[in-house]
């Protein structure tokens, strides 16, 4: 029985997990695909580096062509990360009729459609389950499990690093810098953690989710992004006092033919199922017109969880090889892209202001909200230690993004408003 041969691009956090799972689950893989699976070559940068997993020295190479042009290799697993160089390797590999499994959301969010088109033209599979929410099989669930439904809303905690940081900061009062370091040591963060904490990693994943869930090609530039670096201890305290949990939430919402996609720190009602998703865990809440509410939960990063998704994709490729149907399952978007205008994007907002503690200040502020027809769900006013300054914290009812931006603009212009300290989207109410 001839073995199926794999070439690995990368042997870091995820690559080591892939090697371990292929070795440890060989019996199960044999049973599923009917032949042994062997790792034939592994691309790395540094041949001398200490590895998390034992591999024979002769398997390692620093030359991508040893894999991409190797006639003995059937499937390339890309777990090296990066975009431009990796794109070149994968385009070359596809031209050489290699099937691809990748965990690389940076690449798929930008060059996904180019790579998928080339894969189809070459009758090759290109699977990327691990690129979104690590070990959670969310892409397959959207494409297969919910194939019969019309998905209207997806809300995701899709970045493990930021969820880990926000959990430790809000539950235990840990300092941002310390927790970020921990997340890096645990292998959750990207090589450059800026993309985690500035929300870009989550934005890439939301672009992939929205494209598949809405069957509409959503580009990274279509996703409005805000990270977690400006969140203060005070914001976390107020969030708790008001019955919310601060999370970095990706939202993809379809109404009629139009969609909005964003990633931003959000105050989630404690009653919302995503509010209890903590640490490095990810979850994607999906609302379908027929199925109603569903939620997919699991580890969003880390060696073995992510490798599980990679090796499951590998099994998918090998099953297709056996059936002779590779390259037939790529999802082609059904609808043209239609994005909502700012006046069509509705949400509640949390706002924290420092104002002069003087007669008429509060009424000046509320009259601006009234001008735009926006009312309040919650209001707190507290004196600050600094005399003559008060802190006002409020949560609005639903307002359009356009109206809310105009309100903020006018508030900043008021002499009674010393500073707009923070503002966040709010999702869910006390019963959701």
* Contacts to ligand HSE by CB under 6 A: 134, 159-161, 188-190, 196, 201, 300-301
Rounded Cα gap, residues 214 and 323, in angstroms: 29
Distances (CA, A) of 404 to 14, 75, 368, 373, 385: 42, 51, 10, 10, 29
For the bound state, the minimum distance from the C-beta of residue 134 to ligand HSE, rounded and expressed in Å, comes to 5
Interaction between residue 103 and ligand NAP (CB under 6 A): yes
Residue 79 touches which of ligand HSE, ligand NAP, none (Cβ within 5-8 Å per kind): ligand NAP
205 given a catalytic annotation? yes
Residue in this structure with the two tokens 């090889």, named with its chain if needed: 321
- Per CB under 6 A, the list member of 134, 193, 265, 327 interacting with ligand NAP is 134
Binding mask 14-33 for ligand NAP (x = CB under 6 A): xx------------------
- The sheet with strand 37-43 has its strands ordered as 60-61, 37-43, 4-9, 75-78, 99-102, 126-127
Q: CA-based Rg of the chain, rounded to a whole angstrom?
A: 24
For the bound state, the minimum distance from the C-beta of residue 7 to ligand HSE, rounded and expressed in Å, comes to 22
Asked if residue 266 lies in contact with residue 163, where contact means CB atoms within 8 angstroms, the answer is no
Q: What angle do helix axes 160-172 and 233-241 make, rounded to 10 degrees? A: 70
* Phi–psi pair at 216, nearest 5 degrees: -145, 130
Interaction between residue 10 and ligand NAP (CB under 6 A): yes
Rounded Cα gap, residues 86 and 79, in angstroms: 10
* Phi–psi pair at 422, nearest 5 degrees: -165, 160
Instruction: For ligand HSE, give the closer residue by CB, 80 or 368.
Output: 80
Give the rounded distance of the alpha carbon of 343 from its chain centre: 26
Rounded Cα gap, residues 385 and 260, in angstroms: 41
For the bound state, the minimum distance from the C-beta of residue 101 to ligand NAP, rounded and expressed in Å, comes to 11
- Nearest residue to ligand HSE on Cβ basis: 161
Rounded Cα gap, residues 130 and 307, in angstroms: 8
Interaction between residue 13 and ligand NAP (CB under 6 A): yes
Instruction: For ligand HSE, give the closer residue by CB, 174 or 410.
Output: 174
Interaction between residue 419 and ligand NAP (CB under 6 A): no
Give 78's strand partners: 9, 102
For ligand NAP, the binding residues in 80-99 under the rule CB under 6 A are: 80-82, 85
Active site residue: 41, 205, 247, 348, which one?
Answer: 205
Interaction between residue 302 and ligand NAP (CB under 6 A): yes
Pick from 371, 369, 365, 379: nearest CA to 418: 365
Interaction between residue 191 and ligand NAP (CB under 6 A): yes
Instruction: For ligand NAP, give the closer residue by CB, 8 or 374.
Output: 8
User: Which stretch of DSSP H or E encloses residue 307?
Assistant: helix 303-323
Instruction: For ligand NAP, give the closer residue by CB, 309 or 368.
Output: 309
Residues involved in catalysis: 205
Binding site for ligand NAP (CB under 6 A): 10-15, 43-46, 49, 79-82, 85, 103-104, 130, 134, 187-188, 190-191, 301-302, 306
């Amino acid at each position: 029985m001839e073995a199926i041969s794999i070439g690995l691009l990368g042997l870091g956090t995820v690559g080591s997990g892939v090697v371990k799972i292929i070795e440890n689950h060989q019996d199960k893989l044999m049973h599923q695909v009917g032949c042994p699976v062997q790792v034939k070559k592994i691309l790395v940068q540094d041949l001398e580096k200490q590895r998390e997993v034992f591999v024979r020295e002769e398997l390692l190479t620093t030359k991508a062509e040893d894999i991409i042009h190797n006639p003995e290799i059937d499937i390339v697993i890309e777990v090296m990360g990066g975009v431009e160089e990796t794109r070149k390797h994968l385009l070359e590999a596809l031209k050489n009729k290699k099937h691809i499994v990748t965990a690389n959301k940076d690449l798929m969010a930008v060059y996904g459609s180019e790579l998928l088109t080339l894969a189809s033209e070459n009758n090759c599979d290109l699977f990327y389950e691990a690129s979104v929410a690590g070990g959670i099989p969310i892409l397959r669930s959207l494409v297969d499990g919910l194939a019969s439904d019309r998905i209207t809303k997806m809300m995701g905690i899709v970045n493990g690093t930021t969820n880990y940081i926000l959990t430790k900061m809000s539950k235990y009062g840990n300092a941002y810098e310390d927790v970020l370091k921990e997340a890096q040591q645990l292998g959750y963060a990207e090589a450059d953690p800026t993309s985690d904490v500035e929300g870009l990693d989550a934005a890439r994943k939301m672009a992939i989710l929205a494209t598949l869930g809405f069957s509409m090609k959503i580009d990274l530039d279509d996703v409005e992004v805000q990270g977690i670096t400006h969140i203060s201890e005070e914001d976390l305290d107020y969030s708790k006092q008001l019955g919310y949990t601060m999370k970095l939430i990706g939202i993809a919402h379809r109404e009629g033919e139009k969609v909005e996609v964003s990633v931003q720190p959000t105050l989630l009602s404690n009653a919302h199922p995503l509010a209890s998703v903590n640490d490095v865990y990810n979850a994607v809440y999906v609302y379908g017109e027929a199925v109603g509410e569903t939620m997919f939960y699991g580890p969003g990063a880390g060696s073995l969880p992510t490798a599980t998704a990679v090796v499951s994709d590998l099994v998918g490729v090998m099953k297709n090889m056996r059936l002779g149907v590779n390259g037939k399952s790529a999802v082609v978007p059904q609808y043209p892209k239609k994005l909502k205008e700012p006046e069509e994007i509705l949400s509640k907002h949390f706002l924290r202001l420092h104002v002069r503690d003087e007669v008429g200040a509060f009424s000046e502020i509320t009259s601006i909200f009234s001008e735009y027809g926006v009312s309040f769900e919650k209001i707190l006013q507290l004196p600050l230690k600094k005399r003559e300054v008060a802190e006002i914290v409020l949560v609005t009812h639903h307002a359009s993004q356009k109206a809310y931006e105009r309100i903020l603009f006018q508030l900043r212009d008021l002499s009674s408003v010393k500073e707009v300290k923070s503002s966040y989207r709010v999702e869910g109410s006390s019963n959701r």
